[in-house]
Amino acid sequence: MRVLGIDPGLLHTGWSIVDSNGSERKYIASGVILPKKTAPLPERLATIFNGISEICENFTPDVCSIEIIFVNENPKTTLLLGHARAAAMVAVSTHDIEIFEYEPNTIKKALTGGGHADKSAIDRMVRILLPAANPKTPDESDAIAIALTHTNISRFIK
């Protein structure tokens, strides 16, 4: 199974591709989509949509794993983040790829055993579980963690 992991964001959308076969995991690729900070919202959403579409075309994932947005203290921030997430999900859906959604605490627990791990703990576990991965940003590391979460949980989904 090839999993596309997505950590959505308007400024930094992390993505990863991880292959899974039983208990074996293999890192394939990862990166970050970087819309222009000064671009209008529709242009940033198009950048995310086009970037995810290109990843789907180049890597042909079987499924997608994406983080569920948590409610921020600022409702406007939550709404904008939801737009970025929607752009990524529509891009994946246009390629007929099934999407699985995971809450941040589920991702943290699946990787570290604790639902309140910080970003450095997630990054350490990503590097331990997939030594070939060398994430350069927290968004990239989170996207790998999101893909790994699905590879762990999918064994129980039937």
Per-residue confidence (pLDDT) for residue 118, from 0 to 100:
84
If pLDDT is split at 50, 70 and 90, which confidence band does 98 have?
A: very high
Rounded Cα gap, residues 26 and 119, in angstroms: 22
If pLDDT is split at 50, 70 and 90, which confidence band does 117 have?
A: confident
Phi, psi of 157 (to 5 degrees): -95, 120
Kindly provide the b/e burial profile for residues 98-116, where b requires at least 16 CB atoms within 10 angstroms of the residue's own CB. Answer: eeeebebebbbbbbbeeee
Residues annotated catalytic, as ranges: 7, 67, 139
CB 14 within 8 A of CB 6: yes
What mean pLDDT is reported for the chain? 92
Per-residue confidence (pLDDT) for residue 32, from 0 to 100:
98
If pLDDT is split at 50, 70 and 90, which confidence band does 22 have?
A: confident
pTM (two decimals) = 0.93
Per-residue confidence (pLDDT) for residue 111, from 0 to 100:
86
pLDDT at 115 over 80: no
DSSP for 72-107, written as a single string: PSSHHHHHHHHHHHHHHHHHHHTTT-EEEEE-HHHH
Mean pLDDT of 67-80: 81
Per-residue confidence (pLDDT) for residue 157, from 0 to 100:
56
Largest CA distance in the chain: 44
Nearest-5° Cα angle at 151, 26 to 61: 70
Task: Give me the domains of the chain, ranges plus CATH numbers.
Answer: 2-156 (3.30.420.10)
Q: What is the pLDDT of residues 29-58, one digit of tens each?
A: 999 999 999 999 999 999 999 999 999 999
